[in-house]
Amino acid sequence: MFAPDRYVAALRFAAERHHGQHMQESQLPYLVHLVAVAAEVTAALPAEGVDVDVAIGCALLHDILEDTPTTRAELVERFGEPIAAGVSALTKASSDSLILKEHRMADSLARIRAQPPAVWIVKLADRITNLAPPPAGWSRDKRVAYRDEAMQIADALGGVCPQLDARIRAKIATYAAYL
Ligand code: NI
C-alpha cells in the first residue's frame, strides 16, 4: 500500500507545478488526468513485480518533466531516483530532438521497457485514461494514428499486467466508434 503521506506529497507537488493547466478541451484542472491515471494504476494493484511506491509516484508525476519547468534533479531530491528515472522514461523526446516523429513512440517504448514493471503499468494506465472521445478538431488520420499507437503500447507493454492489457484492448475496441 502506498503511504498516504507520500501520495499527498506527490499530489501537492503535481498540483503546484501543473497549476493553471487544463485537460484538453475542458475546464477541468490537469490534475484530474493525473489522479485518473493513479486510479487506473491503483485498480491494477497489487501486480506481480510492481513496486507500489514507484507506480503511484510515477502516475501522479508522469507529465511533470514534459509539461512543467520541473527538473529531473528536483524529482530525485523529493521522491528518489527510481521515481525520477521512471518519470524521465515516461517523458517523450522533445520535438526538437534528433529523433524523427515516426520513431518517437518506438524510442519512448524502448526507454520504458528498460525500466521496472511499475513504469510499464503507468504508461498503460495513461493511454487507457486517454482513450476517451477524441477532441472535435482531430482529423480521421490523427484518430487512426492515435488508435494505432495505443495498439503499439498494448503490444509492447501489456504483457506486464493481464488486467491492464485487457483494459487497454477493450478501450481500443471502443475507440473504433470514433474512427
Ligand atoms: Ni498523461
- Report the amino acid identity of residue 125: A
Contact 11, 35 (CB under 8 A): yes
Structurally, the chain folds into a number of domains equal to 1
Q: What is the per-residue pLDDT for 98?
A: 67
Total-model pTM:
0.94
Which residue is it, cell 485518473? 36
Backbone region of residue 35 per phi and psi (left: phi > 0; alpha: psi in -120 to 50; beta: other values): alpha
What pLDDT tens digit does each residue of the chain (179 aa) get?
568 899 999 999 999 999 999 998 889 999 999 999 999 999 999 999 999 999 999 999 999 999 999 999 999 999 999 999 999 999 987 766 666 777 888 999 999 999 999 999 999 999 999 999 999 899 999 999 999 999 999 999 999 999 999 999 999 999 999 99
Distance 32 CA to ligand 1 centre (A): 10
Which residues, in sequence order, are CB contacts of 31 under 8 Å at separation 6+? Answer: 11, 14, 15, 18
Distance 116 CA to ligand 1 centre (A): 18
- Report the amino acid identity of residue 131: L
Beta-carbon neighbours within 5 Å of ion ligand 1:
63, 126
Distance 126 CA to ligand 1 centre (A): 5
3-state SS, residue 100? coil
Distance 143 CA to ligand 1 centre (A): 17
Distance 153 CA to ligand 1 centre (A): 14
**Cα Rg of the chain, angstroms:** 16
Query: Which residue segment(s) compose the domain that 44 sits in?
Result: 4-178
Which residue is it, cell 527510481? 82
Distance 1 CA to ligand 1 centre (A): 22
Distance 98 CA to ligand 1 centre (A): 23
Distance 66 CA to ligand 1 centre (A): 10
- Domain containing 52 — which CATH number? 1.10.3210.10
